[in-house]
Structure 1
Amino acid sequence: MKSIIIFYLLCFAFVDAFAQNSENTCEGKQDSILHKFVYTKVDEAPEPVDGFLKINEVITKNLKLPPSTNYYGLTIIVFVVEADGQIDGQRVKRDPSGDEHLLGNQILRNIATLKWKPGKCNGKPVPCMYSIPINLDPSLSE
């Protein structure tokens, strides 16, 4: 049994890519890692093909914590969902394991195994920045 339960927040307040109203309000910026334009606000947000619950399932099943560690708190991962649904430009914004990014890098590897529906602007698939905050709380162990 895992000694840690993972909760992730997929609130649109925390996600860089979020759906807008019917007006053309798509926005973006030059990505410093990919060196290309990516959208940060789209008409239709990217999502995993198997649904958002699949994210929790994949992370909970595959996250391996080093023995005798006390890592808990907020991990924030950021990536770009490309127009073809591939993941690119992965980065860790925050990780309780520090500069080593032990947790964030594991989570990114797991997220990259999922198939994604791309974000859309004016009905067309576009590369879209996406972030996921994940709260690791060992006090909620099974």
Structure 2
Amino acid sequence: MEKEKKYAGDKIEIFESVSLSKNFKTGLPEKETVISNEKPATQDFQDDKVYTESDERPEPKNGMAKFYEEFMKDFKVSPEIKGTARIYIQFIVEKDGAISNTKVLRDAGFNSGDEAVRVLKTTQWNPGKVNGKTVRVMFTLPISIVQQ
């Protein structure tokens, strides 16, 4: 039976196993506890972590200005939207720059959130980095639509 505990940022694993020796008073097998601060070589627990902050933020391949320009070209604005509308999309930029786990945080109505997700999924991104290592990063994208 394996139990895992964390203390002050260090990982300590506690393994409980039944030894072959018996307690002479009770006649039952004795439990043996082995404590190790070594991480198993086969598992990388930080590999799938999603960061909310990074040293190098994810960004579209051609930069944000070009991204917004192309985004608004492809975005089909509903004629029902009048004035200024804001849409917020949250997503994860994966290690390979792919977009996943899209979520519309704020929708301007008339399927504008779904349309923003559709266009977003057609874009290419540079992934974020932490300590020089490519990581998964949560990103929130604000989109403003101005229509007369």
Supply the distance in 2 between the matched residues of 1:70 and 1:55 (Cα, whole angstroms).
22
Q: Which residue of 1 aligns with 2:105?
A: 93
Question: Over residues 56-76 of structure 1, what are the superposed CA-to-partner deviations in whole Å (9 max), with x where a residue is unaligned?
Answer: 122211121334x13542110
- Of 69-78 and 85-94, deviating more is 69-78
Percent identity between matched residues is 38
Q: Does 1:44 align with 2:56?
A: yes
Supply the distance in 2 between the matched residues of 1:114 and 1:70 (Cα, whole angstroms).
24
Q: What is the DSSP-based 3-state SS (H/G/I as helix, E as strand, rest coil) of the residue aligned with 1:127?
A: strand
TM value normalised by structure 2: 0.62
Higher relative contact order at CA 8 Å, sep ≥6: structure 1 or structure 2? 1
**Residue 110 of structure 1: how far off its partner (Å):** 1.3
**Residue 117 of structure 1: how far off its partner (Å):** 0.7
Task: Check whether the contact 1:55–1:111 (CA below 8 A) recurs between aligned residues.
Answer: no
Identify, as 1 or 2, the structure richer in helix. Answer: 1
Task: Check whether the contact 1:80–1:127 (CA below 8 A) recurs between aligned residues.
Answer: yes
Task: Give RMSD over aligned pairs.
Answer: 1.7
Label 1:118 to 1:52 Cα distance change in 2 as closer, same or farther (>3 A).
Answer: same
In the alignment, structure 2 segments of 5+ residues that lack a partner are 1-47
- Give the 5 Å matches for 1:60-71: 60-67=72-79, 69-71=80-82
Supply the distance in 2 between the matched residues of 1:109 and 1:123 (Cα, whole angstroms).
31
TM value normalised by structure 1: 0.64
Label 1:115 to 1:130 Cα distance change in 2 as closer, same or farther (>3 A).
Answer: same
Q: Which runs of 4+ in 1 moved over 4 A?
A: none
Identify, as 1 or 2, the structure richer in strand. Answer: 2
**Residue 48 of structure 1: how far off its partner (Å):** 0.8
In the alignment, structure 1 segments of 5+ residues that lack a partner are 1-35
Q: What is the DSSP-based 3-state SS (H/G/I as helix, E as strand, rest coil) of the residue aligned with 2:96?
A: coil
Picking from 56, 64, 67, the partner of 1:55 is: 67
Q: What is the DSSP-based 3-state SS (H/G/I as helix, E as strand, rest coil) of the residue aligned with 1:79?
A: strand
Q: Which has the larger radius of gyration?
A: 2
Q: What is the DSSP-based 3-state SS (H/G/I as helix, E as strand, rest coil) of the residue aligned with 1:57?
A: helix
Task: Check whether the contact 1:39–1:126 (CA below 8 A) recurs between aligned residues.
Answer: yes
Supply the distance in 2 between the matched residues of 1:93 and 1:57 (Cα, whole angstroms).
22
